[in-house]
Amino acid sequence: MITAIIRKEFISTLRDGRLLTLGVSVLAIFIGFFLTSTHELQQLRLEKHSVGITAKEQWNSQSVKNPHSAAHYGIYVFKPDSPAAALDPGLRPFIGQSLWLEPHKRNLTRFNPSADQIVANRFGQASTSFVLYALLPLMIVALSFTSISQERERGTLRMLHSLGIAARQLVFGKLLGLLGAFMLVLSPALLVAVPLLGQNFSLGLDDVLRLFALLLLFLIYYAIFAALAIAASAYFRTSRITLFCLLAFWLASVFVAPRLGAVTAEALSPNPSAGQFWQAIKTDIDQGLEGDGNHEQRAQAFEAKILAQYGVSRKEDLPVGFVSLNRQHNDSYSVRVHALHFDRLRDNFARQQRLTHIASWLGPSLSIRSLSMALAGMDLAHQRNFEDAAEDYRHYFIDLTEDWDRERSHGTERSAKGKESDWRSVKAFEYQAPDIVFALKSARLDFIVLMGWLAFALALLTLSAKRLNP
């Protein structure tokens, strides 16, 4: 019997003029945004690649100079964007596009696109992901709010009841039929998106798995809205009240929950201002961490250690460059302090992300947004992974230049020189993004919340079937 209900609901949904009108409209919007996002991502990747090559070549072609002076020229590195970023740019508009690596100091990423946008754009951006998490659920609400209430208003629900059709079979049959018709209407979008991604980007196995997981999770997200819509349609007596309640839920889930979650997280776990952050680092370097002594005490202890190690009484008599040795010593302490404060800051970002789920009781949109960003590689966890890799690379090329400086000078001399062949021997930065397992682990709380909403929606649908009266 449930097969017949699914078939009937599938066919009646396809024949419904609302599906054709809404489906074509949303499909046109999706394709428009997707083409724009794909072109933008392709241009961005080309620009990053081109600027990265230019920056490395400028580093390579430096003239003869002191190795430490060469290090101060610095190197720009860029986080590569995955093909799935065409579907969801995630945090890209709000975080920097490049990272400048230089001696003595660990930097934050620079040049975030949102800083160049007009004020109106900062209140929300229309993108492919907006169509997926905001407009398509609205389309489901528009298609399903009359699924049971209309049967009741027309008197057909009483007829179905008299035929002995179980209420549970009826509501779940309608759910599966609606989702089947919905997927059929969505299939042209998939037929456009997948070949377009394959044509513009080189898709690896991990990219395909990420796209497949993204599709599966969005299907779960749409199933939640469909189940809640049918349950509401079965519970309320009229279609008008059902539509009003479902629109309120959609607004709360898509627009209110993210903002409420962000405000709550900031209130419970505030971030330091930029001035406070950098001043705390400077203070810890100057005054030292607990038990380490201040800068002057550490410098005196290091000088005594080096003189004893080489068996000399004066820095001028050292067989290696003391200036470079002392600089490396100070930099290693600076690296330790920077790592401490950067980890605290990023741990707080992660804590805030978890706290935003306090608002998830308003709807599942918050969790699907986080999952989408994670699978697109555009979330905080992927950004942190990239920044850590860039920091390792900074240590590599700074240590290399200090090795040249120390080995090519003696005592307190500053006469060490490097040439173009030295600069060219520095390897280029190559970043390998983590795989899908990393993405799923980083978003496991979001996945649990989404599954919780699915269980709640199905339970509500079951309960509505038990209380369904003609």
* pLDDT tens for each residue of 51-86: 889 988 999 999 999 999 999 999 999 988 888 888
* All residues at 6 or more sequence positions from 109 whose CB lies less than 8 Å from its CB, including other chains: 79, 95, 96, 97, 98, 99, 383, 387
Separation of CA 374 from chain center:
5
Strands (E), 102-246: none
What are the C-alpha distances in Å from 54 to residues 57, 61, 129, 204, 420?
5, 11, 33, 27, 16
Residues 162-183 have a mean pLDDT of: 83
Determine phi and psi for 397, rounding to 5 degrees. Answer: -80, -25
Q: What span, in angstroms and rounded, lies between the C-alpha atoms of 310 and 318? A: 7
Q: What pLDDT shows up at residue 111?
A: 62
77, β-bridge pairs: 99
Q: Which residue has the tokens 């992660």?
A: 350
Of the listed ranges 22-26, 61-65, 204-208, the one predicted with least confidence: 22-26
Let me know the angle formed at the C-alpha of 146 by 249 and 368, rounded to the nearest 5 degrees. 35
Residue-by-residue DSSP string for 224-269:
HHHHHHHHHHHHSSSHHHHHHHHHHHHHIIIIIHHHHHHHHHHHHS
Report the pLDDT value the prediction gives residue 123, as an integer from 0 to 100. 44
Residue 120 pLDDT class (50, 70, 90 cuts): very low
Q: Over 60: is that where the pLDDT of 305 sits? A: yes
The answer to whether residues 281 and 341 touch, using CB atoms and an 8 Å cutoff, is yes
- Mean pLDDT for 287-301 is 90
Residue with the larger pLDDT of the pair 414 and 101:
101
pLDDT at 408 > cutoff 80: yes
DSSP label at 134? I
Task: Provide the pLDDT for residue 119.
Answer: 45
The top-scoring range by mean pLDDT among 108-122, 126-140, 247-261 is: 247-261
Position 118 scores a pLDDT of 47
Q: Which residue has the higher pLDDT, 116 or 352?
A: 352
Model pLDDT, residue 281:
94
pLDDT higher than threshold 50 for residue 129: yes
Residue 238 phi, psi (nearest 5)? -125, 155
Question: Pick from 297, 299, 295, 274: which is nearest to 286 by CA?
Answer: 295
C-beta separation of 377 from 85 below 8 A: yes
Backbone φ, ψ for residue 96 (5° rounding):
-65, 155
* Strand residue runs (E) in 97-141: 98-101
Predicted confidence at residue 122, as pLDDT, reads 47
What DSSP assignment string belongs to 268-300?
Answer: HSPPPPHHHHHHHHHHHHHH-STTT--HHHHHH
Q: 């072109």: which residue's tokens? A: 39
pLDDT surpasses 90 at 427: yes
Angstrom distance (rounded) from CA 305 to CA 403: 19
Task: Return the axis-axis angle of helices 136-144 and 205-235, rounded to nearest 10°.
Answer: 30
Mean of per-residue pLDDT scores for the chain: 87
Q: Work out the widest C-alpha separation in the chain, in whole angstroms.
A: 105
